[in-house]
Amino acid sequence: MQNNTFSGLFIGRNLITLKEVDSTNTFLKDALSKSTPLLDGTVIMADRQLAGRGQSGNSWISEAGKNLTFSVLLNPVFLAIERQFDLNMAVSLALNDFFNKCKLQAATIKWPNDSYFNNKKLAGILIENILQGNKIKHAIIGIGLNVNQENFPANLKNVTSLKQALHQDYNLMQILGEICAFIEARYLQLKAGNIVRIRDEYLAKLYLKDEIAVFRFNNEIQTAVIRDITASGQLVLETSSGLQYFNNKEIEFIN
């Protein structure tokens, strides 16, 4: 479908909007597994996901028609597998660029790639890579952004939306176009090899960096300070026993 909401060169030029789907990420994955030809930059957006997926096998719950749930297909064949976290950083920053445009400069990135505002989650990213040799053939970038939702189920703790933060309603299609333009700009920056800048900006926006905070790791609740991220995306914490390195499932932030 040709459309005018998307100003970028390729992301969103092919836009598929669905009333209902299990998960926009699964939709793209299934299409690719059947060798359906899909343009680089294809965007799938759904009003309602019946089985939205989050990180670590969690589900993604979102009120139908009020929020953005979409996936972007990219073919970052220039990116080696061991550099896949670079794409996470670029996409996290793209969302942050969008929040800056909304005058939400206080939004931060909670490692590895949640968007946070006021100690609450505003958006989540689930990137699923399809590999070929030691390269990334396809990356499915799934984004859930809470936009106009005002009430959240009691079991969803520490969650917020643009509307709660900024007290206004947003046109979902319009902001989808804006976010895709930011993703494209960051993706092209990554492709051009500008990783130092991406990394520096990511670290500058990192939630709780250089602050004493409480985490659960090694089966204990402990205070520690986030100091860095490794090239492979591990969180580097300064703990009472020195620097320690963590993968996503090995540590929990205690708010």
* Residues 202-231 as x/- pattern, contact with ligand BTN by CB under 6 A: ------------------------------
253 touching ligand BTN, by CB under 6 A: no
Of 208, 214, 217, nearest in space to 247 by CA: 217
CA–CA dist 44, 92 (Å, integer): 19
Q: Which helix (H) or strand (E) holds 174?
A: helix 172-191
CA–CA dist 254, 215 (Å, integer): 5
112 touching ligand BTN, by CB under 6 A: no
Residue 96 CB, nearest approach to ligand BTN (Å)? 15
Q: Pick the binder of ligand BTN from 79, 139, 143, 190 (CB under 6 A).
A: 143
Of 150, 114, 14, nearest in space to 71 by CA: 14
Q: Pick the binder of ligand BTN from 43, 89, 114, 172 (CB under 6 A).
A: 114
Q: Which residue is nearest to ligand BTN (CB)?
A: 124
107 touching ligand BTN, by CB under 6 A: no
- Amino acid identity of 40? D
55 touching ligand BTN, by CB under 6 A: yes
Number of residues that bind ligand BTN (CB under 6 A): 20
CA 140 from chain centre, in angstroms, equals 11
54 touching ligand BTN, by CB under 6 A: yes
Do 72 and 43 touch, CB atoms closer than 8 A?
Answer: yes
53 touching ligand BTN, by CB under 6 A: yes
Q: Pick the binder of ligand BTN from 52, 76, 112, 233 (CB under 6 A).
A: 52
234 touching ligand BTN, by CB under 6 A: no
CA–CA dist 48, 161 (Å, integer): 17
149 touching ligand BTN, by CB under 6 A: no
Q: Pick the binder of ligand BTN from 41, 142, 177, 233 (CB under 6 A).
A: 142
- Amino acid identity of 51? A
71 touching ligand BTN, by CB under 6 A: yes
Segment interacting with ligand BTN, rule: CB under 6 A, options 29-37, 52-60, 160-168, 184-192: 52-60
> Please, which residues bridge with residue 121 across strands?
116, 159
124 touching ligand BTN, by CB under 6 A: yes
For residue 31 the two structure tokens come to 């299409």
15 touching ligand BTN, by CB under 6 A: no
For residue 37, whether the previous peptide bond is cis, meaning omega lies within 30 degrees of 0, is: no
Buried b (16+ CB within 10 A) or exposed e, 130-157: eeeeeebebbbbbbbbbbbbeebeeeee
Residues lying near ligand BTN in the complex (CB under 6 A) are found at 23-25, 49, 52-55, 58, 60, 69-71, 114, 124-126, 142-144
